[in-house]
Amino acid sequence: MEHLEKQERMEMWEKIQKALIDEQIDQFRAEFLELHPYDQAKIFEEQDGNIRVLIYSYLSPEEMAEVIEQVDRDLVDEFIIEMIPAFAAKILENMSTDDAVDILNELDKNKVASFLTIMDKKASDEIKALLHYEEKTAGSIMTTEFVVIDMEMTVKEAMQHLRKAAPEAETIYYIYVVNFYKKLVGVISLRDLIIAEGDWLIQEVMSERVVSVPVGEDQEDIAQMMRDYDFLALPVVDFQDHLLGIITVDDIMDVMEEEASDDYSKLAGISDVERSGDNALSSAKKRLPWLIILLFLGMLTASVIGRFEETLDKVAMLAVFIPLIAGMAGNTGTQALAVAVRSISTGEMRKKGNMAVIWQEAKTGLITGLSCGVIITLLIAFWYSDVFLGILVGISIMATLLVSTVSGAFIPLIMYRFNIDPAVASGPFITTLNDLTSIFIYFGLATIFMNFLI
């Protein structure tokens, strides 16, 4: 069934809720299970705790696992904790291993240990095998539920094996081939396997040009690789090329959303991804580190203005244009920062080279600076009837936009070179730094050309 609009969901839920309250289990199950798992999850998320308890009692762990897999990751831990532990453990058993690991990584370690103890040993062992991998690496997002065949098999034997293994596999569009030592040696598509003759050996029809990623590879680099190659799945290997698992495209979509959220938070000057459900104290803790740094940088800006107190005393009109100069510097710096961070995250930086990106931004800054400088010069000359003041502000704007654009691109590149996430060169940081630079340029030029202003 196609996804439902919110209004349709509400109407459907009224029918489902009535069946729940009236304890008409068969009607509830018939209506609810007919929906797409995504719609089941959206309806489930909107309910209060008492209704959710009823749903837990009317659905099996297998059915509930499909719902939980579609639930917003920010809400899953709350739902898992409120369930009876044995029921929650059964749900985790029936989920894809990588999804179960993602949920357990968000829970308290004591609760994780409790769930793993209750679980079926086979499922528990599979989850434990993934839990020890570092977060945001290939190992932490891969699934071990995939189909693998031996290169010595015939096509007929491989098809028989595929029929048995497919129900438990997350995807069968690619079938990976290993040798006697369990090393990855090739890949064959489901299409090629179907059209091959039954007595052909797999090693004769497989492709040996298989792209894989090491188990410790960063998830952001993997997302980039899957986008470049248009893969539906990507095998994960250890240092000896033993096949450990696969990463599917749905996992990468989750990664891309997570990375985008993470970068957005850092660009906004938040040290960690802030959730809508966070309380005020938790939100404040995430925002304070950057705000304190920016506070000290702001004091430095104030001290620079203080050093030019004599210039301000002689030409008070200069103070009028401080917000304009600082604002333009912050805006253009943030624009350049966004372009640089995007170039790094999409891999364009590696193709173009650092100097090419900086040179491109320098030319952009020069053009925008000249344009804005000429406009503001004419406006001030007309509005205030002061040509020299207009020229001063115009030159300051031109120089400020050039410097701010270059610094907005240069700072994240330097951070990237030192293996620091370039997104931490956040918008507020660039803005405050460029405020300081622009004020220094503005008052420095004003002091030099003081005689023309008095």
Domains recognised in the chain with CATH numbers = 6-137 (1.25.60.10), 148-248 (3.10.580.10), 280-453 (1.10.357.20)
Residue 91 has pLDDT above 90, yes or no: yes
* 187 contact partners, CB below 8 Å, separation of at least 6: 174, 175, 176, 177, 206, 207, 210, 235
Beta strands in 49-96 (DSSP E): none
Buried b (16+ CB within 10 A) or exposed e, 320-347: ebbebbbebbbbbbbbbbbbbbebbbee
CA 216 to chain centre: 18
Can you give the pLDDT at residue 314? 61
In this model, does residue 348 exceed pLDDT 80?
A: no
Asked if residues 200 and 192 have their Cβ atoms less than 8 Å apart, the reply is no
Q: Angle, to 10 degrees, between the axis of helix 322-346 and the axis of helix 427-448? A: 140
Question: What per-residue confidence (pLDDT) applies to 107?
Answer: 86
| 305-324: pLDDT as tens digits | 777 777 766 667 777 888 88
For the chain, the average pLDDT equals: 82
DSSP states along 381-428: HHHTS-HHHHHHHHHHHHHHHHHHHHHHHHHHHHHHHTT--GGGS-HH
Provide the 8-state DSSP code for 2: P
What's the rounded mean pLDDT across residues 115-136? Answer: 88
pLDDT band at residue 453 under the 50/70/90 scheme: low
Among residues 146, 97, 103, 91, the alpha carbon closest in space to that of 126 is found at: 97
Contact 431, 366 (CB under 8 A): no
Cα separation, 401 vs 442, in Å, equals: 12
Report how far residue 152's alpha carbon sits from residue 169's, in angstroms, rounded to the nearest whole number. Answer: 21
pLDDT for residue 28 is more than 70:
yes
- 180-217 confidence digits (pLDDT tens): 999 999 999 999 999 999 999 999 999 999 999 999 99
175 vs 155: CA distance, rounded Å: 12
At 236, is the pLDDT very low, low, confident or very high (cuts 50, 70, 90)? very high
Whether residue 42 has pLDDT greater than 90: no
Of the ranges 336-350, 363-377, 399-413, which one carries the lowest mean pLDDT score? 336-350
**Percent of the chain predicted with pLDDT > 90:** 25
DSSP bridge partners of 148: 176
Q: What average pLDDT does range 439-449 have in this prediction?
A: 84
pLDDT at 2 over 70: no
